[in-house]
Amino acid sequence: MEPKKLTDSLSVAGQVQPEEVEQLAKAGFKAIICNRPDDEEPGQPDFAEIAAAAEAQGLEVRHIPVDASRPVEMQKDAFARALAELPAPVLAYCRTGNRCTLLHQAVTG
């Protein structure tokens, strides 16, 4: 998982594994947003696993899944609210980072 910096306060990445969360905390991230629905793909860790690992490291978390039933346009307000409320820098992740990037673009126009 290689985070891509979009702004000083937001980076995006593909799927995060629970064992990578400590590394993210050491890299300075203060919060994680998951834009991936649970059970999207076999073998994918559930958000609860990531949340537990993040909370153990003192990171805040949000789950704002984006999929066909909850497209970017429907989730952009929740994403904007999370970015406003969470401590920065924030790492947002999905399968590849694309949905996170699209959410950021939808929020920033």
Percent helix, strand, coil in the chain (nearest 5)? 40, 20, 40
Distance from C-alpha of 23 to C-alpha of 53, rounded to nearest angstrom: 11
Segments forming the whole domain that contains residue 49: 4-108
pTM: 0.96
Mean pLDDT of the chain: 96
Q: How much is the average pLDDT of 6-22?
A: 97
pLDDT at 6 over 80: yes
CATH (domain of 73): 3.90.190.10
34-51 burial by CB neighbour count: b if 16+ within 10 A, else e? bbbbeeeeeeebebeebb
Distance from C-alpha of 44 to C-alpha of 6, rounded to nearest angstrom: 25
Q: How many domains does the chain have?
A: 1
Q: How far apart are the first and last CA of the chain?
A: 27
Tell me the per-residue pLDDT of 40-60, one tens digit each, with 9 for 90 and over. 999 999 999 999 999 999 999
Hey, which residues does 92 pair with through a beta bridge? 12, 33
